[in-house]
Amino acid sequence: MGWKEAAEPVLTRMPAVRRPEGHVPFKRKLMWTAGILMLYFFLTSITLLGYQTGGSGDLFGEFRAILAGAHGSVLQVGIGPIVTASIVLQLLGGANLLGLDTDDPRDQVLYQGLQKLLVILMVILTGLPMVFSGPPGGGFLPAKTSMQLGGMALTATQIQVLMFAQIFVGGILILYMDEVVSKWGIGSGIGLFIIAGVSQRLVNGFIQPNSQGFFYSWYQILTGQIEIGSIASGEGLYALLVTEGNLIGLITTLLIFGIVVYAESVRVEIPLSHARVKGARGRFPVKLIYASVLPMILVRAVQANVQFMGQILNSQWGNMPAWIGTYSQQGQPVSGFFYYVAPIYSRQGWMWWTANVSQEWWQVMIRIGIDVTFMIVGGAVFAIFWVETTDMGPESTAKQIQNSGMQIPGFRQNVGVIEKVMERYIPQVTVIGGALVGLLAVCANMLGTIGGISGTGLLLAVSITYKLYEEIAEEQMMEMHPMMRQMFGSE
């Protein structure tokens, strides 16, 4: 008996959101999407019962724009378990260790059940160290030492168990919220949650009425409430560009918006014609960012898990060997392996000539080199995995074109011939696009953005929003012309 036969009784019984039996009207899809978005914001505002506020900072603070959720809330783990489970499945599938054929309906059910099971396991593995990594009142997610609940006094251990139960429920809720959006709404839940978190931080970065708000800071500069010094001496120019004025952050934010929108429009269009309907023509676009920027979530998730492991070792082991990692009182790596592999998320992380950086210039350069290399290579590798596992590769694309009755003019109507033509473009564009996105993310991180959003988070938000706009336009077009739903196989 193989593993599929042994696991089938469990995997096929995993709870799932029922698919719509027919066409879901566009307005209903919008209602489902908006409802899930409101529920997401509601859950992020619910503080964990038993959580000791004012404790340590967010363990995933630097990765929060990507992993969504909110620190100290029911959605503490965010989409991290979903992304980690995806990485594991992609690696197992890429090595052909699962033996699942996603074209087979039975194997599709097993794959979806296995993914849900892995997500549940990752929620447990992520939530347990957060709550039980240290004594009550300490650790990554400090708990109260005592509290009353329904007239019953809870011990410290019982409070920690209660907090873990809430985190577990939140992780399961976000899993099925993502599934509801994917089946009944527009786009994907993961993309929706990333847009929500990044947009909130971006708006706050512009309009919040304190020194962190861009417009408020410039109001103080123009009214003389903030002294920036002489521009001729360079002190005032540095203040306008980097510190008080943050003009570099504004320019970087606008550049990322412009570059991503432009890159989404750059494409190689392969002409197509219908084999039976004369005059029916079309084009298959191979975009520069063919795999989208979603593989960047996987790259950053790997880095987040590595840093999470370092934090656990530091809290449990204490004085680790210096070559493994030394941590500051704020819980940040300052030397050793975990420092060099930590991604750079702000200007303060690499400007070695300032007082914010205690490391030598060569140590900072090594860290920059590792971060750039990891993002470029990781972006290309995960883009290839993404294309192959989402049926966007040359073979799957050729079958889709063949099944639609289309062919490439001047070539025989044969799947193998179409696949060879696609192989000229898709693999190369996938690698180039993945590497380009990785490089953009690192540059945006180093220069900084408005609201302190990571470059990867801003890239994801802009790209996902652009694709969401395209999907909404396509839905509206299909709503106006019902026959197009049959042509695109949506009904």
Domains in the chain (CATH in brackets) are 26-186 (1.10.3370.10), 266-448 (no CATH)
pLDDT higher for 121 or 239? 121
* pLDDT at residue 489 greater than cutoff 60: no
pLDDT higher for 320 or 168? 168
Mean pLDDT for 251-276 is 84
Residue 144, SS3 per DSSP: coil
Q: Which segment of 279-283, 293-297, 383-387 scores lowest on mean pLDDT?
A: 279-283
Q: What pLDDT shows up at residue 117? A: 92
φ, ψ of residue 267 in degrees (nearest 5): -155, 160
Q: Which segment of 69-78, 202-211, 222-231 scores lowest on mean pLDDT?
A: 222-231
How do residues 181-201 score in pLDDT, each as one tens digit?
999 998 888 889 989 888 888
Q: What pLDDT shows up at residue 169? A: 95
Contact in structure between 327 and 333 (CB atoms under 8 Å): yes
Distance of CA 67 to the CA centre of its chain: 6
Mean pLDDT for 380-385 is 88
* pLDDT at residue 155 greater than cutoff 70: yes
Strand duo 152-154 + 267-274: pairing: unpaired
- Indicate the pLDDT class of residue 54, thresholds 50, 70 and 90: low
Neighbour tally for 227: CB within 10 Å = 10
How do residues 106-115 score in pLDDT, each as one tens digit?
888 888 888 8
pLDDT higher for 28 or 410? 28
* pLDDT at residue 25 greater than cutoff 80: yes
pLDDT higher for 42 or 68? 42
Q: What pLDDT shows up at residue 277? A: 62
Question: 105-132 and 156-184 helices cross at what angle (nearest 10)?
Answer: 150
How do residues 329-363 score in pLDDT, each as one tens digit?
777 888 889 999 988 877 777 888 776 788 888 99
For every residue of 369-398, DSSP letters joined together read HHHHHHHHHHHHHHHHHHHHHTT-SHHHHH
Q: What pLDDT shows up at residue 120? A: 94
* pLDDT at residue 94 greater than cutoff 70: no
Instruction: Write down the mean pLDDT value for the chain.
Output: 83
* pLDDT at residue 426 greater than cutoff 80: yes
Q: What pLDDT shows up at residue 347? A: 79
Going by C-alpha positions, the residue among 127, 117, 68, 126 that lies closest to residue 89 is 117
Q: What pLDDT shows up at residue 281? A: 72
Q: Which segment of 93-107, 250-264, 347-361, 449-463 scores lowest on mean pLDDT?
A: 93-107
Going by C-alpha positions, the residue among 457, 459, 466, 479 that lies closest to residue 30 is 479
Q: What pLDDT shows up at residue 80? A: 86
- Indicate the pLDDT class of residue 170, thresholds 50, 70 and 90: very high
- Indicate the pLDDT class of residue 97, thresholds 50, 70 and 90: confident
- Indicate the pLDDT class of residue 40, thresholds 50, 70 and 90: very high
Mean pLDDT for 409-419 is 81
Strand duo 152-154 + 147-149: pairing: antiparallel
Contact in structure between 276 and 311 (CB atoms under 8 Å): no
Q: What pLDDT shows up at residue 488? A: 47
* pLDDT at residue 438 greater than cutoff 60: yes
Residue keyed to tokens 């620190």: 71
* pLDDT at residue 124 greater than cutoff 90: yes
Rounded alpha-carbon distances, angstroms, from residue 181 to 17, 30, 37, 276, 468: 10, 10, 9, 37, 12
Residue 210, SS3 per DSSP: coil
Q: What pLDDT shows up at residue 135? A: 60
Give the separation between CA 9 and CA 161, rounded to whole angstroms.
30
Give the separation between CA 198 and CA 323, rounded to whole angstroms.
35
Give the separation between CA 411 and CA 421, rounded to whole angstroms.
9
Mean pLDDT for 10-19 is 87
Give the separation between CA 213 and CA 245, rounded to whole angstroms.
10
Residue keyed to tokens 């975990």: 338
Query: Exposure pattern of 352-368 as b/e (b: 16+ CB <10 Å)?
Result: eeeeebebeeebbeebb
